[in-house]
Amino acid sequence: MAFRALVPGAVLAVAAFGVGFAANGLRAAVSALLGVLLVSASFAAYVMVLGRVRRISPAAMQGAVLGGWLARLGVILGALFAVDAADGDVAAFGFAAIVTALVVATYEAWALLAGRIRAPLELDVAADDRVGGTG
């Protein structure tokens, strides 16, 4: 799933660069491109980490979900300050990052509803036990 998410990220990156360039020149285009690439890459890394940690335990999965979300937020916030320090276009970076985050969230929701994402086996067994399943 992580690598499949990079394809829409690449399309968004090209679109963000074009929109940024048309709106405010090369500085905005590069800043918007950085915003999309950062959110897309952090999502792909996050999915890969979750894929590995889900085999350990449900508690490890919960920790990775919360810690990963906070780490992604910290990286994006740090990059925002870096763009500002490098005299980039903060608005273009932020807008592109927000749009990409919304597209990623939509993609995650679609993948979950379409059945492309499943709970790990341990979680499925625990859920069956709670509802009276045979496990």
135/130 Cα distance (integer angstroms): 10
Query: What does the alpha-carbon distance between residue 18 and residue 30 come to, in Å, rounded to a whole number?
Result: 10
Least confident piece of the model among 45-49, 53-57, 104-108, 123-127: 123-127
Domain ranges (residues) in the chain: 2-127
User: What percent of the chain stands above pLDDT 70?
Assistant: 81
CA 112 – CA 65 distance, rounded (Å): 16
Q: Is residue 30 a contact partner of residue 53, using CB atoms and an 8 Å limit?
A: no
CA gyration radius, the chain: 18
pLDDT band at 10 (very low <50, low <70, confident <90, very high): confident
Residue 125 has pLDDT above 60, yes or no: no
Q: Supply φ then ψ for residue 37, to 5 degrees.
A: -65, -40
